[in-house]
Amino acid sequence: MVRDFNRVESRNIRYSSSGDWDTTWRYRNRLEVQVAVNHDHLADDHTFYLLADAEAFINLGRAAEERFNDNWRIRSGLGYRLRYQWRFELLYTLQLSKDTLLASFETSNHILRLRLKFYPKGSPKQAIAAKRARN
């Protein structure tokens, strides 16, 4: 599965040194890939999957005066879908930042994350089956 996630965000930043506020706009684009390992489909229960994504943070107009002005995030990891409601993911994230427009990107963070996902309503298939059973 391939997904492209786009968003525009308004950033309201308060500088602790002066107490002043600044507002800037930033575009974010994340391209993500997920591949099932032990089954044909990601929607199958008891599926291990590999995931990877890259996300760019692009200032729109004037950049905020901050240390991490522009960012790139690159993630990869392994996930496990127990069933629709329960998923577990172990992710490694490399974050690259630069503090001025002309500077080059440098590694700013190495992040290891264990993520638990829970969807309380059940799968769409279960909802359709329950609705049919009531009728």
Domain that holds residue 27: 2-134
Whole-angstrom Cα distance, residue 71 to residue 106? 9
Single out the residue of 56, 55, 61, 57 nearest to residue 25, CA to CA: 61
pLDDT digits (tens, 9 = 90+) for 80-92: 999 989 999 999 9
pTM, entire model: 0.74
The full length of the chain comes to 135
pLDDT digits (tens, 9 = 90+) for 92-132: 999 887 765 566 666 678 999 999 999 887 666 666 666 66
Tokens 């706009």 label which residue?
25
Whole-angstrom Cα distance, residue 59 to residue 8? 10
Whole-angstrom Cα distance, residue 42 to residue 71? 30
Number of compact structural domains in the chain: 1
Q: Secondary structure of the chain: what % helix, strand, coil (to 5)?
A: 10, 60, 30
